[in-house]
Amino acid sequence: MDMPDSVNVSAGKEGVEVSFSRNVAFTQGSIELSREVKETIDKMLPTIGPLPNDILISGHTDPTDVNDRFPSNWEMSIGRASAIATYLESKGIPTKRIQVAGFGDSRPRFFGDTAYKRSLNRRVEILLMPEDMQR
């Protein structure tokens, strides 16, 4: 699969994870999918679409990501994960395969002492779960 530099794919015992960095998936304070993330998901569909594996989509924010529309990081993170779930559904991924989680700002990858590091914590992760971890 050809992925942009701003998308990270890794495999581990929890499954295969695709992580979209801050500037790929969403602008600050938004749950609207960017053109780039839609194109990346479209490239993944021929690979993940036919598989039976469940897909866990988790949204993450930084402490400054709230606004009037999303007054908490919980709401923002679940909104972002739900936007990707809705897009996957629109592309034919069965609803029963999709799980959505919002972690707010509770699982940062970087200590947010600068604006840049905080922005790196704004992300969405798609986890293709191994068959032994299915519902």
Helix axes 35-48, 73-90, angle to 10 degrees: 50
Please indicate, yes or no, if residue 20 is contained in any of the structural domains: yes
| Residue 82: Cβ-neighbour burial (10 angstroms; 0-12, 13-18, 19+) | middle
Euclidean distance between CA atoms 132 and 40, whole angstroms: 27
Query: How does DSSP classify residue 78?
Result: H
pLDDT at 30 over 70: yes
Share of the chain above pLDDT 90, in %: 39
Please indicate, yes or no, if residue 50 is contained in any of the structural domains: yes
pLDDT at 58 over 70: yes
Please indicate, yes or no, if residue 58 is contained in any of the structural domains: yes
Mean pLDDT along residues 85-111:
94
Please indicate, yes or no, if residue 1 is contained in any of the structural domains: no
Please indicate, yes or no, if residue 2 is contained in any of the structural domains: no
Query: How does DSSP classify residue 96?
Result: G
pLDDT at 132 over 60: yes
Q: In what order do the strands lie in the sheet with 55-60?
A: 7-12, 15-20, 123-128, 55-60, 98-102
pLDDT of the residue at 92? 95
Euclidean distance between CA atoms 122 and 90, whole angstroms: 24
pLDDT at 22 over 70: no
Is residue 2 very low, low, confident or very high in pLDDT (cuts 50, 70, 90)? Answer: low
CA distances from 24 to 2, 90, 92, 120 (A): 15, 20, 22, 11
Mean pLDDT along residues 61-72:
85
Range of the domain at 88: 7-133
How many domains does one find in the chain? 1
3-state SS of 8-68 is EEEEECCEEEEEECHHHHCCCCCCCCCHHHHHHHHHHHHHHCCCCCCEEEEEECCCCCCCC
Please indicate, yes or no, if residue 24 is contained in any of the structural domains: yes
Mean pLDDT along residues 21-40:
78
The domain spanning residue 90 has which CATH number? 3.30.1330.60
